[in-house]
Structures are given as C-alpha cells and as structure tokens.
Chain A
Amino acid sequence: MSLRLGLIFSTTGSYAALGQSALAGALGAIETLQAAGGSNITPVIADPRGDMAEYDRLTRSLLDDGVRHILGAITSSSRKEMIPLLERRGGLLWYPCPYEGFESNGHVVYLGAAPNHHVVPVTDWIAEQGMERAYLVGSNYVWGWETLRLARDCLQSHGIEIVGERYVPLGSTSHEHVLDELCAQDVDCVVDSLIGPSNTSFLHGLAARDPARVGRPGHVASFNQTEADLGDLGAAANGLISAGSLFEEDAGDALKEAAKRHAPNGRVSSFLATSYAAVEIIAEALERAGSEDPRAVFEAASSASVTTAMGSVSIDPVLRHAELRPCLSLAENGRFRVVERMERAVPADPYLAARNADRRRRKTVLRVIN
C-alpha cells in the first residue's frame, strides 16, 4: 500500500523545537519503513510557522490535493483550527502531542498524553513530596487554561494551597509581574503551563530571581516539558518534574537513530517518539484496512494493538485515544531522569471520569525506580 501523508508541523516560529522533534520522528519512521520494504508512505511536509491562519491554509491545501491523513499540529489551538476542515472534507488528523483532554472528535486520533497521563500523576507526586503551597502560571490559551484548571482541582483535593494563578500572552517573554508576585510568597512548587519562548524566559527569570530553589526536586512542575527544548532551559530547569509518555532514557535504537538523522538537537523526546509510532500505526492500519479511507484505517488501527518503537499501542475505538505508559522525570543538567513509571499502559481518560478511582488504585501500579 502507498499513502501520501501530510506532515503539518511548525518547524519555524515560536514553538519550532517541538515541531522539529515531531517531524524528525515521522521522517525517521517513514525512512525505516521504506528501508524494510513495507508501506510506501510519501511525506508531504508543510510548515505553518506557528501561525494559526497558516494551519488553515495548509490543511485546506493538502486536503484539496487529495491528502486524507495528516500527522501534525502541536498546540491545541492549531488542532482546533484544523478540525472543521477535516470534518468537512473527510480527513483524519493523527495528533501526536500531550493535550488538555475534554475532546473526542471523529476526525482526530489522539496519540499523546491525556490529563490522566500528565496532570494527575504530576499533582499526585507533588502531594507525595509533602508540598503545601503551589503557584500556577500558564500561557493564555486553552492548554494553559485547562491544564491549570485541572491542576488547581487536583492540588486542592490534596489540601495544597494555590497562592497565585497567572496567565501571560502567548509568546510573551516579560514576566516581571509574575515573578514579583511569586517570589514575594513562600511557594513550594510552580506549576508551569507556559509554552515556547514564554516558558524559556520564565524559567531563566525564576532561576535568576530565586537561585536557591533551582535543583530542588519538583520546585517547578510541567505537564509537557520534553527533551525537544530542554537544552534551551539550561540549568534553570534543574529539579523540574515533568510527565511524558516516553523520556530519552527509555528510547530504543530506532528512536535514537531517527533523532540522530533528523532532529536538529539530536535528542529523543515524546514528540519524536509519538510521531514515529504514529507512522508505524498508520502503516500497519493501512495494510490491515487495504484502503486509505480514513474511517477504514482508523477502524483497523483501533481493532488491535500495534507494536511500535514506543512499545505496544492500543487505541480506544470510542474515544479515539491511545493507551500510554506515562513516566515522571526530573530534569538534571539537560537530561531527564525517570523517577516513576507506570507498570502497564493506562487507557486515556480524557474527561477524567475515573480520576478518583485512578488515584485510589495508583499506589499499587506506580513504583519508585531510582
């Protein structure tokens, strides 16, 4: 079977590092499949440059050109921009990024971490460390709003006080007012849902204003920090706790090779790994379906698990989300060290219907490994 696969990733613009990492994973997988003589997937690459209007224009253009499967979008805003076009023209988006949940669209396959894979384990971990006071800061769009809303609920349910909550405009690198407020208080943990340059400048600013907190495990918590742009943070990220479906130390040779060949920073991240796995899933489903019809391919993809470079991946045919095996990692001098991992894959719970039950069960399935 052959397929033209749209790869819409912003490899330039404010969150270019994430797009570059995801694109590297997709290209690495396509290359590997072709070398093995499997499905012939031809990438059709488009770079929206982080510009929302470009997502619309490029998605429209690809769909007009007969492309039916698109792997891409990084931010939830870009995904939501693409969905109406996919609905009208019968396309399918394979979305490889962690997101805030509360969505289950019939034209999207959600392969990244859902909130029960990131917000819940991170906030549980914060509580287990005995932290008592948290400050929430996020970019002023749906990822920031929703992850921090969930974080507030989860932390407060643990009895942790939220001493402040601020949102900054997307792309803003001026955080003095936030740092003034934050540093004037005794904050155990800063929950950080900033993205791109805002995140980088904020963490550097925080480290400069309060160097004593840097390195303390969990002084900053993130739900999506990966190796894709960890290098930009330098020592300022030391002690940051993050959740992810895969960290570099767990990457096998295939992912390392893809990173080496295609990622500008040569690093494996969950963006890279998930995009790599997405291509493997698409290729396998294509063979199973014997057709590139999006509905048939999705049904084939969700009918049985697929072995990927991330391990075996199952997709819920109803909510269209992947089961993942999330880990928690601490940043240390530009690398992540896994400190907890789920013993088995966890179904996505994008609406957090089972949050309380998960919390009760979690003690038996997580183990501290180092």
Chain B
Amino acid sequence: MTRALLHNFSGRTAIVLHRSEEVGQRIRARCDRLGICTVVCLGDLDSSLAATADMLILDIDTADDGMLPWPRGEAPMPVIGLIGSESPGRLAWALDQETDAYLPLSSLGNLFSALVIGHEIYARKSDRRTHEAETARRKKGRLDVIRAVLLLMGEGRDEALALKKLRTMAMVAQLPLEDAARLLLEAHPTARDASG
C-alpha cells in the first residue's frame, strides 16, 4: 500500500531543542511560514512539553540522551537533526537516536525538505515496528497452530487436511492463522492440555 507524502504541516507543533536562542528564532520564523507552531526549548525536554508536540527539531551537536524523555531511539514523533560540526561521535549519537532526517544549520532554507523526509521516514519506521510486533506476536502462536492441527487431525484427517481446515476457518473469520488456532483451542480447552 502506498501512502501519500505529507507536505502540509499547517496546524502542527514543533519543539526546537537548541541552546542558541538565535537559531531557535530562525527556525521558528521558517516554521511560522509553514503554518507550524513552534516552541523553542533551550534546556532539557520534559515529557509534559513533549506530549504537546508533533515533531522535534534538535541540535545534534549538543543533545544527549538525558535531555529527552524517552529511551534512546524511541522518540514518539519525527525527529529532525540539525547538523553543525559534523563530528562522527555526534552523528553516531544521532543515528542511535534513529533521527529521521538531517538538516545542516547552514541550509535552514531546506527545512521543508527535511520535514517531508523526516515525517515519511518516521511513518515507515512506525509501520515497520508495527509489522515486526505483529510478526513476533504471531510467532508466539505457532505452538497453538500445531495444537489446533492435532485437534483437527483427531477428526480423521491427516495433517495437511487439518491445516487446510484451519486455514479455511481463519479465512472465513478473517483472522491470522495463529488467532484462529487460539480461538479453536479456547473452544476445546482440553486440547491444549492434552498436547502438552
């Protein structure tokens, strides 16, 4: 499925985390033209302020984990990293934070591009995380699939026919195979115990 690129940020709120008020004001002026409400934060970002924001624009030269109210790499919003010194250590920190887009401080005129890219990368990252979580959840249900197949084999089918039956049940209920297996086992509580 394709998703239309987000390129209108009007009505959104950005936090600019930068120790320089002058840089913060320059970014605020650009954000204002894009319809973005901006809060310039000169110190640590607390969770209550973060909860009001849709995106974070931060100085990767000076930011550290302690300034952010979330575990490393788990920002709940797109993060745009402002590049100043290009020191490898700071770039490494920004990469570990899974910063979604980068903008050299000398190129604030390209803020719009960074926002479009950052929001798209964040959306793809979120999709991937959701997919990975779902895959992990379903992997946990594999044993239930085996138990459900064994249960259905008890009705005189071989394993291929039992699996086909389970697939049909899942398709009719519009459920993943693992969830259909779990529901079947819940309807036959002894099957789970019997299969060990």
Contact = CB atoms under 8 A, between A and B. Distances in A.
A104 B30 CA distance: 10
B143 to A, nearest CB: 50
A353 B29 contact: no
A316 interface: yes
B93 interface: no
B33 A316 contact: yes
Contact of B33 (A105, A351, A355): A351
Contacts of A351: 7-8, 33-34, 112
A318 interface: yes
A129 B44 CA distance: 55
Given A102-B112, A106-B109, A319 B33 contact: yes
A107 B62 CA distance: 29
B35 interface: yes
A365 interface: no
Contacts of B29: 318
Contact of A105 (B30, B36, B109): B109
A353 B109 CA distance: 15
Contacts of A353: 8-10, 33-36
A353 B30 CA distance: 11
B10 A104 contact: no
B8 A318 contact: no
How many of chain B's residues touch chain A, expressed as a range? 10 to 19
Interface string B102-140: 000000010010000000000000000000000000000
A166 to B, nearest CB: 22
Interface string B32-46: 111110000000000
Contacts of A212: none
Interface in B1-55: 7-10, 29-30, 32-36
Contacts of B34: 351, 353
Which of A104, A106, A351, A355 has the most C-beta atoms of chain B within 10 angstroms of its own C-beta?
A351
A104 B113 CA distance: 11
Nearest to B113: A102
A104 B109 contact: yes
Interface in A325-356: 349, 351-356
A289 B144 CA distance: 78
Contacts of B35: 353-354
The 9 nearest A-B residue pairs measured at CB: A353-B35, A318-B29, A353-B34, A353-B10, A104-B109, A106-B109, A319-B33, A351-B112, A105-B109
Interface of A: 102, 104-106, 316, 318-319, 349, 351-357
Given A351-B7, A353-B9, A353-B10, 7 more contacts: A316-B33, A351-B34, A352-B8, A353-B34, A353-B36, A354-B10, A357-B10
18 contacts: A102-B112, A104-B109, A106-B109, A318-B30, A318-B33, A319-B33, A351-B7, A351-B8, A351-B33, A351-B112, A353-B8, A353-B10, A353-B34, A353-B35, A354-B10, A354-B35, A356-B10, A357-B10
